[in-house]
């Protein structure tokens, strides 16, 4: 997959794609349906995605609480797995935000990336002040020579599939509902960072990961699927993880601590992908280490039982 970040300098071989446009946070079922439409609209063209980094919401409200379901690296990895060949990752800055809908269509889509066909969701808005709609884009496409398909919104049960609905499910401690809308387990991805090594002393060594910048799921303990993405221990494992601020030890910066079952090895600096399967219990503060260890034993047994049924 080629990643193109500057619409003003695009190599000829990276033009002419059939591309879906959006933020693609989570790459959920709605996003996947839009990607499928881009694939089928121009089968001979490279399959592309036009997205934005940082997320426009982060640009306009930099001090708002973290809301993203995945970082740019995890998003790119997921898109590549879906067969995307060209990722047009636009730098969302003041200059881009100031483009009118017509300027965005002409300068970015037509003259810049030279897209052959674009797919957008029915709720797509673009240009300064989000003034452009999907219907406006269709009109610009007829004028400028690119096709436009408007994709219907996808619903699951009573929920319209959206990043907002997925965030709500995760905040409610319901990763299985989030997974139904995502089409895959919600995953935290990133390198293993150094910790206090308290887990090792308790007989539960953990791989610690930052969740900075990401929407925090409900704090507590989860049954998880773990993929070690690189190195000598590369592979898939089962485990149990704690999401939160570790109240037992007076911590206040949330992270994810994962105990990988039946694993021995050094993972510092190694990228992991941890999929949340089931929320076992809320975060708690225990009276002492013995009570904590007993609960960790119970959590591990519960997680093993749940994961063995997948």
pLDDT for 55-78, tens place per residue?
Answer: 999 999 999 899 999 999 999 999
Tokens describing residue 98:
């100031």
Helix (H) / strand (E) element for 159: namely strand 159-160
CATH class (in words) of the domain with range 2-156: alpha beta
Mean pLDDT for 213-226 is: 96
State how beta strands 147-151 and 132-133 pair: unpaired
Instruction: Report the C-alpha gap between 103 and 259 in whole angstroms.
Output: 51
> Please, are residues 251 and 228 in contact by the beta-carbon 8 Å criterion?
no
Does residue 249 have a pLDDT over 60?
no
List the one residue out of 246, 252, 255 whose CA is nearest residue 284: 246
Please, which pLDDT band fits residue 291 given cuts at 50, 70 and 90? Answer: confident
> Please, are residues 88 and 38 in contact by the beta-carbon 8 Å criterion?
no
Instruction: Report the C-alpha gap between 165 and 200 in whole angstroms.
Output: 37
Across-strand partners of 244?
Answer: 255
Residue 29, pLDDT score:
93
Across-strand partners of 227?
Answer: 236, 273
Please, which pLDDT band fits residue 146 given cuts at 50, 70 and 90? Answer: very high
Mean pLDDT for 25-30 is: 94
Does residue 175 have a pLDDT over 60?
yes
Q: Which residue has the tokens 């002419």?
A: 16
| Three-state SS at 249 | helix
Residue 239, pLDDT score:
98
Opening angle at CA 292, ends 287 and 297, nearest 5: 150
> Range(s) for CATH 2.40.30.30 in the chain?
185-308
If you average pLDDT over every residue of the chain, what do you get?
Answer: 93
Give the phi and the psi of residue 279 in degrees, each rounded to 5. Answer: -85, 115
Residue 160, pLDDT score:
78
Does residue 247 have a pLDDT over 60?
no
**Spatial CB neighbours of 195, under 8 Å, sequence gap ≥ 6:** 206, 208, 257
Q: 185-308 belongs to which homologous superfamily?
A: Riboflavin kinase-like (2.40.30.30)
Instruction: Report the C-alpha gap between 178 and 92 in whole angstroms.
Output: 28
Mean pLDDT for 263-289 is: 93
Tell me the C-alpha to C-alpha distance, in Å, between residue 66 and each of 59, 146, 206, 214.
12, 36, 24, 5
Residue 251, pLDDT score:
56
> Range(s) for CATH 3.40.50.620 in the chain?
2-156
Instruction: Report the C-alpha gap between 211 and 254 in whole angstroms.
Output: 7
Please, which pLDDT band fits residue 253 given cuts at 50, 70 and 90? Answer: confident
Does residue 198 have a pLDDT over 90?
no
> Please, are residues 193 and 210 in contact by the beta-carbon 8 Å criterion?
yes
């Amino acid at each position: 997959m080629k990643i193109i970040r500057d619409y003003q300098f695009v190599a000829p071989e990276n033009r002419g794609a059939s591309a879906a446009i959006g933020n693609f946070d989570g790459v959920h079922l709605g996003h996947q349906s839009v990607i499928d439409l881009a694939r089928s609209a121009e089968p001979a063209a490279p399959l592309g995605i036009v997205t934005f980094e940082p997320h426009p919401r982060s640009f306009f409200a930099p001090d708002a609480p973290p809301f993203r379901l995945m970082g740019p690296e995890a998003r790119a990895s997921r898109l590549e797995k879906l067969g995307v060949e060209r990722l047009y990752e636009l730098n969302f800055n003041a200059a881009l935000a100031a483009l009118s809908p017509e300027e965005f269509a002409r300068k970015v889509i037509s003259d810049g990336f030279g897209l052959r066909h674009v797919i957008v969701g029915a709720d797509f808005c673009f240009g300064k002040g989000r003034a452009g709609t999907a219907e406006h884009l269709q009109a610009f496409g007829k004028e400028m020579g690119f096709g436009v398909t408007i994709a219907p919104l996808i619903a699951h049960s009573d929920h319209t599939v959206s990043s907002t609905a997925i965030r709500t499910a995760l905040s409610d401690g319901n990763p299985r509902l989030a997974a139904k809308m995502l089409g895959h387990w919600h995953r935290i991805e990133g390198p293993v960072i150094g910790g206090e090594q308290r887990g090792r002393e308790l007989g539960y060594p953990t791989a610690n990961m930052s969740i900075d910048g990401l929407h925090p799921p409900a704090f507590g303990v989860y049954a998880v699927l773990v993929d070690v993405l690189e190195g000598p221990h590369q592979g898939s494992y089962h485990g149990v993880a704690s999401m939160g601020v570790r109240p037992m030890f007076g911590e206040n910066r949330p992270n994810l601590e994962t105990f990988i079952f039946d694993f021995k090895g050094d993972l510092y600096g190694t990228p992991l992908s941890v999929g949340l399967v089931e929320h076992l219990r809320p975060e708690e503060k225990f009276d002492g280490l013995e009570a904590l260890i007993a609960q960790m034993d119970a959590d591990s047994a519960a997680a093993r039982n749940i994961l063995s049924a997948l």
